[in-house]
Copies of this chain bind each other. A is one copy, B any other.
């Protein structure tokens, strides 16, 4: 798999947050319910995002987490790197050691191109961009609910 499950959950949660009123703290429980992700597991993942400075949290009643920056300034890449690290964008596809510009593996050049297009995709897509698109086309973040239903009370 390209991205770990933790990473995918983190991205879905980040998209959820980007669709919320700016500055408002959203309880993790609400997100885990809506997104159908285990509460404790999601908590751990979001703790990573908080530690990495992508989210900030607030304890107690009316607490929760929120994006530090505006969603339009958060490329998917930031979330991916915070959770999965950057090996996806640095490692040799064939796992051949010593692969690089100096001593490329047989598919180094081709893979470098592919890797760049992954990088581009993750760097150019922001949370807000995807949220807008999702709203417009009623895309899903879960198996059941359309995007609009997801944000009803």
- The interface of chain A, by Cβ under 8 A from chain B, is 1-3, 5, 8, 11-12, 15, 76, 87-88, 91, 93-98, 103-107, 110-111, 113-114, 117-118, 121, 125, 129-131, 133-134, 137, 139-143
Contacts and interface: CB of A to CB of B under 8 A. Distances in A.
Contact of A87 (B1, B88, B137, B139): B1
A118 B125 contact: no
A68 B62 CA distance: 65
Number of copies of chain A assembled together:
2
B140 A103 contact: yes
Contacts of A3: 93-95
Given A97-B143, A110-B125, 7 more contacts: A1-B91, A3-B94, A96-B141, A97-B140, A110-B121, A111-B121, A113-B117
A11 B105 CA distance: 12
